[in-house]
Chains A and B, each alone.
Chain A
Amino acid sequence: MKVSMQINGQKMQVQAKPDSRLLDVLRDELGLKGTKEGCGEGECGACAVLVNGQVLNSCLLPLGQMDNADIVTIEGLPSDSPLVASFHACFAAQCGICTPGMMMAATALLSEYPQPTLEEIREGLSGNLCRCTGYGRIYEAVLQAATGVTHG
């Protein structure tokens, strides 16, 4: 099956089985290895990407539903964004395997709530498991990206 998508701003055509997972297409066909597989069942969020602006788990997306989709992966996020800077400044990444997915979820969260409360952050990121940080530095990073203020 031939599918046209916009990936990180670029029009692309992919030829693959229609029930291929977007995750595999991104990683194996397009070499976009920043999207990670943690569980393969939509539970951990390590494979999260933005599809038409919404955060979705790419391990649950069949290519057959992706025609004309606008997809943004971690590679498509600006490397000089406030979120990148605040994740770095707040030590929000430890082992880093959940981080790309967390960045995508945080991007979607901030586009819906530009000034999120802690509660909104906690609810908005609850589809992304992190085993290293205990989440504290991540809350801090998202708050800082939104407000530019360090909470200590």
Chain B
Amino acid sequence: MVEWVRPQRVGEAISLLSKMPLDHYQIISGGTDVMVTQRLSMHQKNRDWLDLSAIPDLKEIEVHDKGIRIGAGVTLSALRRHPQVQKFWPMLAASAAVTGAAPIQNRATLGGNLCNASPAADNAPVLLAYGASLEIAGQQGSRIMDYAAFHVAYRKTALAAAELLVAVHIPYPPDKSVSLYRKVGTRAAQAIAKVGVAACFQIDAAKTIVQARFGIASVAAIPCSLPTVSHYLQGKKIKQIDAAIVRKGITHDIAPVDDIRSSAEYRLETTSRLIWDAIQHVE
């Protein structure tokens, strides 16, 4: 008989995890992915369940003077409807709004979307472009890590044993900034992305790019950013930007994949076009 454990506090969850061998618990939050993979796997192990949905701390959204702290258990429908998220982090409201459809958004959590570690996670590009960081709790207390370092390999995260993602921190976008998000899916709703692109540019009064940050999902084996392109764009004005160099940078930074939803060719080309289009919006 499998056990269903439903801690009320993060600390309780961590101590449960630390007492048991790795993979003893199947962790569940909104369950929109876990419930499917669990059922599809032919040889399901009878793992006990660690249910995070009763931890009030994980459901909190706190907007403060540096930015926003979003509990890992906040649902996507709560995010897309949150007035301050809509105002200051519109790309996040948008990415939450194009993840699945209403019945999914009502259940799926931001933390789940990241920890499930799908390369196609709809909210990943936006968090990368906004320069988000993650608050991770473990036995020794909590640590903060750059979200860009979270996805280490295909469906593998930097979470250590007995660690939990508790919150996502996003700073306010810089005063003068332009941001763009675009999801390309086969249909307009309930689509797993084949390309997801987010870009956030900080510009100065002279329209020089102070900083450019990108997030790409669904193109490579993990959600990723474009360090080479970001570096190249820094300190440039639109007219100084060479399309060929940007394109080369993209090719350097991502290794596109072929799968059942799209081709590596299309993904790379579309990413290049969307990034170039985003750059054009700086002016």
Contact = CB atoms under 8 A, between A and B. Distances in A.
Query: Is there any pair of Cβ atoms, one from A and one from B, under 8 angstroms apart in the complex?
Result: yes
Nearest to B3: A18
A41 interface: yes
B35 A62 contact: yes
A55 interface: yes
A127 B2 contact: no
Interface residues of B, number: 27
A130 to B, nearest CB: 13
Contacts of B53: 65
Given A43-B190, A62-B28, A64-B51, A127 B103 contact: yes
Nearest to A65: B53
B55 interface: no
B102 A41 contact: no
Contacts of B51: 62, 64-65
Contacts of A61: 31, 35, 107
Contacts of A126: 101-102, 188-190
Given A40-B39, A126-B101, A18 B106 contact: no
Give the bracket for the number of chain A residues in contact with chain B: 20 to 34
B206 interface: no
A35 B188 CA distance: 26
Contacts of B103: 42, 45, 48, 55-57, 105, 127
10 smallest CB-CB distances across A and B, nearest first, come from A127-B101, A126-B189, A18-B4, A64-B4, A126-B101, A54-B106, A41-B36, A60-B35, A127-B103, A57-B103
Interface of B: 1-4, 6, 28, 31-32, 35-36, 38-40, 49, 51, 53, 77, 100-104, 106-107, 188-190
9 contacts: A19-B4, A41-B39, A54-B106, A55-B102, A57-B104, A62-B31, A65-B53, A123-B101, A123-B189
